[in-house]
Amino acid sequence: MEYRIVGDNLPVLLLQLHAGEKVTCEAGAMSWMDDEIEMQTEGGGLGKMFGRLMTSENMFMNHYVARQDGEIAFASHFPGTIRAVEVTPQRSIVIQKGSYLAHFGNIETKVFFQKKAGAGFFGGEGFLMRQYSGQGIVFLEIDGSAIEYDIPAGDRKIIDTGYVAMMDATCTMDVVTIKGAKNILLGGEGLFNTVVSGPGHIILQSMPIAQTAMMLSRFIPSGS
């Protein structure tokens, strides 16, 4: 398999599959493909289907298998960036719902429960995220630009809600209350911040779609 990411603000992932190779995505994610590739839709069992439903994802997954060499494309759904993240037996990743685009290789996925309930209820990334492990490549759809950091052990990064797209499974996530009544009332940052502690790698997104929708709503005239 070879891949290219083309385009600017609305990128497209182009995968060149060789005969017998397979790429997996959510149902409805494929944009176009060559005739040499065929689709197989599976649920993967009630447990996996229910897990995807819990994280507001499509219950079914599509597998695209190349009978002969051919190309398949996945276009982004929002202005942003596509990132390819390598997953190995030594490195699992956790992503927020909406960031998954597709994956290639022997990848297993399951619901990732935040260890601390506050991180889910108030952190903006959701109480239930998804963990990907195994051996392969996971392609992520990032809202806006992707900014990456390596957080050392014992260090942490304070992030506004909704900006965490991915973190290594070695990281932990929590929520802290913004200190000071003046900061809360006048700072415009809400009540809580997300805190990600190392060690591990994180990818942040510069334009979360939820934040963008809130900003645009201010310019939409209210109904009578």
Looking at this protein, which amino acid is placed at residue 49? M
How, if at all, do strands 146-151 and 37-42 pair? Answer: unpaired
Determine phi and psi for 182, rounding to 5 degrees: -65, -40
Q: Which residue has the tokens 């806006």?
A: 144
The pLDDT of residue 41:
86
pLDDT value, residue 120: 47
- pLDDT score for 44: 57
pLDDT at 211 over 80: no
Handedness of CA 79, 82, 83, 87 (dihedral sign): positive
What residue type is assigned to position 164 of the chain? V
Measure the CA angle with vertex 146, ends 142 and 151; round to 5°.
120
pLDDT number for residue 160: 86
Quick: pLDDT tens for 66-124.
999 999 999 998 899 999 999 999 999 999 878 999 999 999 988 887 655 454 444 45
- Domains, the chain, ranges and CATH? 2-217 (3.60.160.10)
Q: pLDDT tens, 127-156?
A: 568 899 999 999 999 999 999 999 999 999
With tokens 């390596």, the residue in question is: 150
pLDDT at 111: 83
3-class SS shares of the chain: helix, strand, coil, % to 5 = 15, 50, 35
Q: pLDDT by residue (tens digit) across 161-207?
A: 889 999 999 999 887 766 544 444 444 455 677 899 999 999 999 99
pLDDT of the residue at 129: 84
Residue 208 confidence (pLDDT): 87
Distances (CA, A) of 74 to 5, 26, 90, 106: 10, 11, 28, 19
Q: For 48-63, how does the pLDDT look when each residue is reduced to its tens digit (9 = 90+)?
A: 555 555 555 556 789 9
Give the pLDDT of residue 107. 95
- Specify the pLDDT at position 188: 43
- For residue 83, the tally of other CB atoms under 10 A from its CB is 21
Q: What is the amino acid identity at position 30?
A: M
